[in-house]
Copies of this chain bind each other. A is one copy, B any other.
């Protein structure tokens, strides 16, 4: 998974039923080099001084994340499992998506460097 910040939303025209109604977010990954050394203390990504990179990932979101939220994004089968589970346990994870929010970050704890 990668750690990123939600920075926008995408509205699009889709044709597959499994993908219709899926909320799509723009997420920018963080880079660890922006993290300050801390004394095993607690810091959210923002207070830790992390700056998002220029990379851009579009991912499905069923966790009600919004702009400014820090999230964990998974790719591939893991993303389809995340989307399928919310649609019902009997459905196969076959949505035509390859990235999804799998968690909303509450807190980071960093080791000294």
User: Nearest chain B CB to A29's CB is how many angstroms away?
Assistant: 8
Interface residues of A in 35-91 (CB under 8 A from B): 35, 40, 52-59, 62-63, 67-68, 72, 74-82, 85-86
The oligomer's copy count stands at: 5
User: Nearest chain B CB to A88's CB is how many angstroms away?
Assistant: 13
Inter-chain contacts of A24 with B (CB < 8 A) = 1, 72, 103
Inter-chain contacts of A54 with B (CB < 8 A) = 31-34
User: Nearest chain B CB to A15's CB is how many angstroms away?
Assistant: 6
Given A1-B98, A8-B108, A11-B106: 9 more A-B contacts, CB < 8 Å: A3-B26, A16-B102, A26-B108, A29-B56, A32-B54, A32-B55, A75-B98, A81-B95, A81-B96
